[in-house]
Structure 1
Amino acid sequence: MITDNRSTVRRVLVITLLLNIFVLILKAIVGHLTGSLSLLADALHSVTDSANNILGLIASRFSSPHPDREHPYGHLKFEAVGALGIAAFLGIACFEILQGAVERIIKGSNLVTISASELWLLLIVLGVNIFVAFYERREGRRVGSPILIADAQHTMGDIWVTISVMGGLIGVFMGYQWFDLVLSFPVALMVFWSGWSVLKENLPWLVDEMAIAPETIHDIALSVPGVINCHAIASRGVVGRQVFIEMHLIVDADDVETAHRITEEVELLLESRFRPARIVIHVEPPRYKEEQISFAD
């Protein structure tokens, strides 16, 4: 069974987009008032948050799980492409932060000033980021959306970035001007790590990496009475979101009706374990012999 959760994904993305714009405005205002490099870099990071939400809305619009003539396997990879776009945005943000820090070192540091009220505003920003991260992650896991999970991962990184920036500005508030500049470097590393995590999570889907170990599929198939063996097992996709399974099944059956019944039992077991799944099984007669259950390295 194919499940289309795009309306939920779009609703979550619209809510987080509005909250991220609010956070961006607060960071930009406080960054401008204080002259803080790390906070302005964090504001740039928040620009990518809003851009990611817009990108996610576009990707979700085109990522229907339902097949059509041009896309017989559905359009779910559009979400993974959108997640890779998030990784690209994070890479750009990392470069901009490092470039600003190096320029500050070469040209000399400008005086950074911060008040208690401005620190309280940053505390509000932190609270909004925490809410967005946990809300997106919860909804992403509930509906199985990689774009929401990737964006939540991004926002989790943003939380640590904001905490680091606040730590630097508290140091500035106490009279240590160099805190702001020094902490801009770990901010960049946190941004880079968030991007790398998103990239690593979504590349396997795009390159059709194995989704389920063939030995697992083999054991499930052989648990059905009438199955002699199975081979040429292949799988791709993401378990819990959509997987595609193919195999050749050797059955102990002398007529098509019995072979069909055995095949359906195998499909039902695999579907119950890895749903939603699209399963293609090629049935072979009992006399066929094959020991290689999957493709060789």
Structure 2
Amino acid sequence: MATDNRAEVRKVLLITLALNLVVMAIKAVVGTLTGSLSLLADALHSVTDSANNVLGLVTNHWASPQPDREHPYGHQKFDALGALGIAAFLGVACFEILQGAVDRIFSESKSVNISPGQLWILLVVLGINIFVAFYERRVGQRIGSSILVADAKHTMSDVWVTILVIAGLIGVWQGRVHDLPELQWLDIVLAFPVALLVFRSGWEVLQENLPWLVDEVAIAPEAVHAIAMQVPEVINCHDIASRGMVGRQVFIEMHMVVDAHDVKTAHEITEKVEALLSAKFSPARILIHIEPPSYQSESIGYASNPDRKPD
């Protein structure tokens, strides 16, 4: 059975929410004072960070791995749904950044005025973002929380956004110092790679969580078959199916023919198979359907011919 780590996930999300609100406020204030469109867009991106934390807290509340009457397979897909919500927020942030950059190209823009002190403040903000990203990812990987890992990816995209924005603002600052007004365009040009980084992060989150939601095969049927056939009393193993996510929670089903003449012996054989599978793919819930010898089949999984060929 999967471990319920929701309390630890909640703690991490509350800490990162507080830090993200601080980051968002600093970016918005400095962006307003300097007139930097890229920094204001970065502040908008930080708004999605805070919104993702709130979304994560809501979904985490419902993502219990323990089954109940209404959800006999647990509630962990709520966690994956929250991760997809983060991907949607990343898509919105990407669109907003691109729209702001294009609007500024075709409109009369104000000059950006940035001071060394404001740049130092942004470096502190960058340090906070880096801490949040690594903290969330480390805890998420340790406890197997997709919502934390997905949010860490989002925060990491914010790190790269902030690095690009700071690089552009340093160029704008140096352009003002050395009377190079064309460097003002750095504030706009760098918005485009920022948008691509945000889009990539969203795409990665989708790739990692869609298989869980659409019940894509979690373990190759051939791998399950090889383990089951290690038990000498197993004669045939077929129609193997699996879903979930290895290391988090997997569900394995199979049909099996065993060398047994009574129910008790057959049950003991299935327990041996379950023990081997659980040792390899824990946490796992395994369902084995015992069949008579005439139901032997060469169809290991559902991709092959489902028609049984009795002996």
- Is TM-score (shorter-chain normalized) higher than 0.5? yes
Cα deviation for residue 296 of structure 1 reads: 2.0
Among 195, 207, 232, the residue aligned to 1:225: 232
Q: Match of 1:99?
A: 99
Cα deviation for residue 70 of structure 1 reads: 1.1
Among 201, 205, 208, the residue aligned to 2:212: 205
Query: What CA distance in whole angstroms lies between the structure 1 residues aligned with 2:53 and 2:73?
Result: 25
- Report % sequence identity: 70
Cα deviation for residue 170 of structure 1 reads: 0.6
Query: What CA distance in whole angstroms lies between the structure 2 residues aligned with 1:170 and 1:83?
Result: 34
Question: Gaps (5+ residues) in structure 1?
Answer: none
Amino acid at match of 1:50: S
Cα deviation for residue 42 of structure 1 reads: 0.6
Q: Match of 1:162?
A: 162
Q: Match of 1:131?
A: 131
Query: What CA distance in whole angstroms lies between the structure 1 residues aligned with 2:196 and 2:159?
Result: 13
Note if 1:262 corresponds to 2:269.
yes
CA contact (8 A) 1:83 1:198 kept: yes
Query: What CA distance in whole angstroms lies between the structure 2 residues aligned with 1:286 and 1:255?
Result: 13
Q: Per-residue displacement from partner, 1:190-246 (whole Å, max 9, x unpaired)?
A: 111111111111111100000001110000000112011211100000111111000
Q: Per-residue displacement from partner, 1:134-183 (whole Å, max 9, x unpaired)?
A: 10001001110000000011111111111111110011011111110100
Query: What CA distance in whole angstroms lies between the structure 1 residues aligned with 2:296 and 2:219?
Result: 24
Amino acid at match of 2:247: G
Query: What CA distance in whole angstroms lies between the structure 2 residues aligned with 1:97 and 1:267?
Result: 51
CA contact (8 A) 1:252 1:285 kept: no
Note if 1:249 corresponds to 2:250.
no
Amino acid at match of 2:185: W
Q: Match of 1:189?
A: 196
CA contact (8 A) 1:253 1:286 kept: no
Q: Match of 1:288?
A: 295
Q: What is the TM-score when the length of structure 1 is the normalising length?
A: 0.98
Amino acid at match of 2:62: F
Corresponding pairs, count: 297
Q: Per-residue displacement from partner, 1:62-120 (whole Å, max 9, x unpaired)?
A: 11111111111111000000000001111111111111111111112220011001110
Amino acid at match of 1:185: F
Note if 1:2 corresponds to 2:9.
no
Q: Per-residue displacement from partner, 1:254-293 (whole Å, max 9, x unpaired)?
A: 1111111110011111111111111100012334320010
Q: Match of 1:278?
A: 285
Note if 1:28 corresponds to 2:28.
yes
CA contact (8 A) 1:38 1:180 kept: yes
CA contact (8 A) 2:2 2:248 kept: no
Q: Match of 2:113?
A: 113
Query: What CA distance in whole angstroms lies between the structure 1 residues aligned with 2:273 and 2:110?
Result: 69
Amino acid at match of 1:148: L
> Which segments of structure 1 move beyond 4 Å, counting only runs of 4 or more?
none
Amino acid at match of 2:273: V
Amino acid at match of 1:207: V
Secondary structure in 1 matching 2:53: helix
CA contact (8 A) 2:238 2:300 kept: yes
CA contact (8 A) 1:263 1:281 kept: yes
Amino acid at match of 1:105: I
RMSD over aligned Cα atoms: 0.9
Amino acid at match of 2:6: R
CA contact (8 A) 1:24 1:43 kept: yes
Cα deviation for residue 2 of structure 1 reads: 3.0
Note if 1:77 corresponds to 2:77.
yes
Amino acid at match of 2:7: S
Query: What CA distance in whole angstroms lies between the structure 2 residues aligned with 1:3 and 1:195?
Result: 27
Secondary structure in 2 matching 1:245: strand
Secondary structure in 2 matching 1:107: coil
Secondary structure in 1 matching 2:252: strand
Q: Match of 2:147?
A: 147
Query: What CA distance in whole angstroms lies between the structure 1 residues aligned with 2:124 and 2:95?
Result: 27
Query: What CA distance in whole angstroms lies between the structure 2 residues aligned with 1:26 and 1:37?
Result: 14
Cα deviation for residue 28 of structure 1 reads: 0.7
CA contact (8 A) 1:225 1:262 kept: no
Instruction: Give the greater-gyration-radius structure (CA).
Output: 2
Q: Match of 1:240?
A: 247
